[in-house]
């Protein structure tokens, strides 16, 4: 009965709008759960009263709030006791192996703002300069969380599908963000070595925080610097550039240097979102990056822009395919 009503074309727009009016509220519910450590408390089942006492919340409203977290499928309630769902614990607890709270709290700061004020040209909203070291230093923890939770595996899968991968020994990751992918690469083969180039604050975090306890750390070389300026290591079998080419001062020149840094038979792989239909699609990237774009960071590439630059940089052949990821479709551009 419900389905037959929902299927009517006439109901689609109102249903979408009803859903949208709830979206900001859903985010607030989740944001509070991360910022107040609610998933850490709910490792052991608690009543709303117990949690309210621990966090200084109103007990009646706390029950309503926890019911909403349940309704959204993030926790469970049984006989008045609230607890994490076993399958999400690793993602939602702050000490979980795939903890993502930090990522989403940081992402919301970058992606949300007062759109109307921005549209009116306001200067007063929170500024955002994605070309600055400070911005990336501030994003370091959330990049690490993103890579640990989902992206590291997906990026590794992309590399391991290359026909050249089996024999690849030297890999260069420019603008890596964290050492998670590098760790996965060197773990996958005892003779693989990875060089990372990233801005000094991030590179230092990788060396001093992420790699100290990593057993194969001698096979991960981290270079602190701007990839526009530092010498690229030579004879690389694979050069990987993911969501970082926006910061190339001269894209073609950087790609030419990458081409030169490859060993014979080596490949360059780019992993970036690309916009199409006059920069109105895909929705995930257009809406997701709207606020940064309004603040002067409209950096996404147009469809095939990277492929054209790769060709112009001297690569003999270029292929592009699209992969679906948790942040939306990404173009994988391979230059040989």
Ligand X SMILES: C[S@@+](CC[C@H](N)C(=O)[O-])C[C@H]1O[C@@H](n2cnc3c(N)ncnc32)[C@H](O)[C@@H]1O
User: Which residues make up the interface to ligand X (CB under 6 A)?
Assistant: 136, 143, 151, 175-177, 197-199, 202, 226-228, 242-244, 247
CB closer to ligand X out of 177 and 184:
177
Cα–Cα distances (Å) from 173 to 42, 95, 307, in that order, read: 38, 27, 19
For residue 81, what are its two tokens?
């006791």
CA 15 to chain centre: 29
Q: Residue 161: how many CB atoms within 10 A of its CB?
A: 11
CB closer to ligand X out of 24 and 127:
127
Residue 130 CB, nearest approach to ligand X (Å): 8
- As a whole number of angstroms, the distance between CA 34 and CA 100 comes to 9
CB closer to ligand X out of 29 and 248:
248
Residue 289 CB, nearest approach to ligand X (Å): 11
For residue 115, what are its two tokens?
């759109």
CB closer to ligand X out of 125 and 299:
299
Residue 318 CB, nearest approach to ligand X (Å): 20
CB closer to ligand X out of 210 and 242:
242
Among 184, 183, 102, smallest CA distance to 146 is for: 102
Residue 194 CB, nearest approach to ligand X (Å): 13
DSSP secondary structure code for residue 165 in this structure: G
CB closer to ligand X out of 42 and 185:
185
Residue 241 makes CB contacts below 8 A (sequence gap 6+) with: 173, 174, 175, 258, 268, 269, 270, 271, 272
Burial 86-123 (b: 16+ CB within 10 A, else e): eebbebbbeebeebbbbbbbbbeebeebeeeebeeeee
Residue 13 CB, nearest approach to ligand X (Å): 34
Residue 325 CB, nearest approach to ligand X (Å): 10
């Amino acid at each position: 009965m419900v389905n037959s009503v929902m299927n009517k074309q006439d109901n689609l727009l109102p249903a979408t709008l009803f859903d949208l009016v709830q979206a900001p509220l859903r985010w607030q519910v989740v944001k509070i759960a991360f910022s107040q450590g609610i998933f850490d408390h709910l490792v052991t089942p608690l009543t709303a009263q117990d949690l309210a006492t621990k966090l200084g919340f109103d007990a009646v409203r706390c029950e309503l709030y926890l019911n909403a977290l349940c309704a959204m499928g993030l926790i469970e309630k049984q006989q008045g006791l609230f607890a994490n769902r076993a399958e999400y614990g690793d993602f939602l607890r702050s000490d979980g192996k795939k903890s993502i709270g930090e990522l989403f709290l940081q992402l919301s700061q970058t992606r949300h703002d007062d759109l109307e004020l921005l549209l009116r040209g306001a200067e007063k909203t929170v500024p955002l300069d994605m070309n600055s070291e400070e911005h990336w230093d501030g994003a370091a923890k959330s990049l690490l969380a993103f890579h640990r939770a989902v992206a590291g595996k997906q990026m590794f899968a992309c590399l391991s599908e290359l026909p050249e991968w089996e024999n690849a020994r030297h890999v260069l990751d420019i603008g890596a963000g964290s050492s998670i992918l590098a760790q996965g690469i060197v773990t996958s083969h005892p003779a693989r070595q990875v060089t990372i180039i990233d801005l000094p604050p991030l590179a230092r975090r990788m060396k001093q925080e992420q790699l100290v306890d990593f057993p194969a750390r001698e096979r991960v070389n981290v270079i602190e610097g701007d990839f526009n300026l530092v010498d690229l290591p030579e004879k690389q079998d694979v050069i990987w550039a993911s969501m970082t080419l926006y910061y190339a001062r001269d894209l073609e020149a950087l790609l030419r240097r990458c081409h030169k840094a490859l060993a014979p038979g080596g490949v360059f792989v780019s992993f970036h979102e690309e916009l199409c239909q006059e920069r109105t699609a895909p929705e995930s990237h257009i809406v997701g990056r709207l606020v940064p774009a309004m603040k002067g960071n409209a950096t996404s590439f147009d469809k095939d822009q990277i492929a054209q630059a790769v060709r112009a940089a001297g690569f003999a052949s270029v292929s592009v395919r699209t992969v679906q990821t948790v942040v939306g479709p990404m173009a994988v551009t391979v230059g040989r």
